[in-house]
A and B are shown apart, each in its own frame.
Chain A
């Protein structure tokens, strides 16, 4: 059969070319669905399994994945067992053939703690100053306490969680891991308590929703392996906003000059090609320029002139929000110029000539006729620029992104917007957490979620631009 095809190339090649389309689509679909499944799945309250091994050991945890055994046939499974304070590790590999029994007891609890990470085990008792509750009553009391605190303090532990030192008179919990080791936990180190095995579908969806919300609205914890990405979202958005404020006027200005005012000769054509080609220059080159000119050059001079009392520790002479925005503005300038020029070129000359013939000056012709007609094209350009800037990481590594910014660049302190501060960025957060973290396995789910968020932001921006452009072309009848 294949020989028949091989002889008849006319029939074979179309199939191969169709295959390349199918393969591209398959890769894209695989990437996006991997991000969606792993990114959103992390927040789902997975069941906790209690597993008895052949040697009598009992462990409890979420099953994460399976892999073939390295030394003999068969598979092993990775469990997330938490309890780093008891076991010294968060994970445990278990060979499948050593598992004796598996069950999902409803009374297993998952505690989210301020220190040592999660705890998986049983709740023995809640000890209050005047009474001691056990069993189901203890669980009820714990829930009540946590709910009360969440409504008061908006989810954060009531006390600055300064370790799990026990203060007499406080309420504390007695918890027990599945193999029977007990621990006392002061109530104030507990963020949340769950019994995933006992949850109904509705409760699971609710828990999932609130976990997604916490991811979006809280700051990172435990060296970026836990908590949320709010500072990174904030930093990305602020930086991109500043950048679009910078790039829009200059890009539009340059496009108007090139298309409406400059003499349309050889030089203008060369400049146009040059600008177009700048869009293809690697982003890291812009980063080098930003570091050399903005940070070391302009920033260094600013420090000498205005901030000489704080030298040698630099104020503007190191990467910061302003320099990052400027660098990205320069990087996206060609995008805006090209898009705006396209819009300007699409406007028929008759419109311009008509306005001039009626006695309008060039400025009036530009502001009343040409710019309103080109506005959607400009908007498209700016959105494309924002989409490109939001996903760009390499230049930021040179001009001011931080793995963990202690202060937000926007706060209540005068002058409110701190242009010299370093900021967090979603893309860099992905890179740093995935490659420089201590426990990559623990950070992975959050990296997936962050990547999904970044892709969503960029795709939505691009879709808007594509839709606008499509709409625009149809309107102009092209």
Chain B
């Protein structure tokens, strides 16, 4: 090989390298700018609203904002206790084998498309709950109570049975117990309902307190959207709890704390910010979810906090009205303003959650003795 061709070759390689680096840089920055363009576009398209200066038009958005917050509130009301409870259980009590299975299972739950959840909630569960309202409400109190009953029975079982049905697998073997309890609840409720003067809870609510019951209401939305939000809250909360340095828990238990005391007094305060950011992420998802609210809420723009009445959320309004709105018209700009509000809200909430998580990670590293 002769030196000149070698240097030529070398120069070619270098030139190619420089070209490729330039291209990657340009492409990378281009992609990031495209992403940035979303924010710019939303801002740009809401500017005409300032010129119009029509403050009355903003009043159209208030019921939508209310509906969004209401739906998110009921979803979190359902999802947060369940997701945090599940996270605590799986980080501290669950057997490792079950835990390794549970995480992907809940990831599957997260992957179920919103349109399917919305369809089941709006068309199947909503009419069914309307017919079995009393039984459903009974479940809200009955299921936690039945878990306690199961715990009590378990404590009185023999050691052999306790070993075949250990607490570390309770997340699994409580499922058939719940099926049994749900069946029992729906068998009992007609008998309970006969004690009411009206023979039917819905009519009773209406007559006694004037509470309307809409088939598709906030309660249904809360359960359906809670179902969609549980996995993301669970995943982050479980990470935060599982990453609590083992030395802390072991230290607490060595000082005589029970497992639950160690969790309550040591793990929870340490992982607190992580749990907070998990709930924030869940809130962000609940606020932006479209299909579930669209299909399960009845889409009536109401100002009512009642769990038995529907609402209309920002995202649902955008999905329905924007394709029909004339570009450049007032409705169009208003809806884009609504989208901007969603964007800013979720972006801020997620950034806050991420910042909290980063700080928590640093704290863990400090606690484990790495400065």
Contact A444 B20 (CB under 8 A): no
Q: Give, as a whole number of angstroms, the nearest-CB distance from A345 to chain B.
A: 15
Interface residues of A in 8-35 (CB under 8 A from B): 9-29, 31, 34-35
Q: Give, as a whole number of angstroms, the nearest-CB distance from A215 to chain B.
A: 17
**Chain A residues in 8 Å Cβ range of B25:** 257, 261-262
Query: Please, which residue of chain B has its CB at the minimum distance from the CB of A25?
Result: B175
Contact B148 A398 (CB under 8 A): no
Contact B290 A394 (CB under 8 A): yes
Select one of B20, B86, B149 contacting A2, CB under 8 A.
B149
Contact A14 B167 (CB under 8 A): yes
Q: Mark A248-263, 1 if CB is under 8 A from B, else 0.
A: 0011011011101110
**Chain B residues in 8 Å Cβ range of A302:** none
A457 to B195, CA, bound (A): 48
Q: Between A and B, how many residue pairs show CB distances below 8 Å?
A: 318
Interface-forming stretch among B50-58, B246-254, B341-349, B360-368? B341-349
**Chain A residues in 8 Å Cβ range of B323:** 291, 319, 397-398
**Chain A residues in 8 Å Cβ range of B150:** 15
Q: Give, as a whole number of angstroms, the nearest-CB distance from A262 to chain B.
A: 7
Contact B94 A34 (CB under 8 A): no
Q: Give, as a whole number of angstroms, the nearest-CB distance from B115 to chain A.
A: 4
Say what secondary structure dominates the interface of chain A. helix
Q: Give, as a whole number of angstroms, the nearest-CB distance from A435 to chain B.
A: 7
**Chain A residues in 8 Å Cβ range of B315:** 282, 284, 394
Contact B105 A25 (CB under 8 A): yes
Contact B16 A363 (CB under 8 A): yes
Q: Give, as a whole number of angstroms, the nearest-CB distance from A72 to chain B.
A: 12
Query: Please, which residue of chain A has its CB at the minimum distance from the CB of B44?
Result: A292
**Chain B residues in 8 Å Cβ range of A293:** 37, 41
**Chain A residues in 8 Å Cβ range of B302:** none
**A202: interface (CB < 8 Å):** no
Q: Give, as a whole number of angstroms, the nearest-CB distance from B93 to chain A.
A: 6
A390 to B12, CA, bound (A): 44
Contact B31 A253 (CB under 8 A): yes
Known: A24-B82, A280-B281. A466 touches B116 (CB 8 A): no
What residues make up the interface of B, taking CB atoms closer than 8 Å to A?
Answer: 13-14, 16-17, 20-21, 24-25, 27-29, 31-32, 34-35, 37-38, 41-42, 45, 81-86, 88-90, 93-94, 102, 104-109, 111-120, 122-124, 131, 143-145, 147-152, 154-156, 167, 170-172, 174-175, 177-179, 227, 230, 234, 258-261, 264, 281, 284-285, 287-291, 294-295, 315, 318-319, 322-323, 327, 335-336, 339, 342-343, 346-347, 349-351, 354-355
| A-B CB contact pairs (8 Å), 22 listed | A5-B148, A14-B89, A14-B259, A15-B148, A15-B151, A20-B83, A21-B90, A22-B177, A26-B178, A282-B290, A284-B339, A285-B38, A292-B327, A391-B111, A393-B113, A394-B291, A398-B318, A434-B119, A434-B122, A455-B113, A462-B111, A463-B104
Nearest first, the 10 closest Cβ-Cβ pairs linking A and B are A257-B28, A282-B288, A391-B113, A20-B85, A21-B171, A19-B147, A15-B151, A22-B174, A394-B290, A17-B89
Additional pairs, 15, CB under 8 Å, beyond known A260-B24, A284-B315:
A5-B152, A9-B260, A18-B170, A24-B109, A27-B227, A35-B120, A251-B31, A253-B31, A258-B28, A364-B17, A391-B113, A391-B115, A431-B119, A431-B295, A434-B122
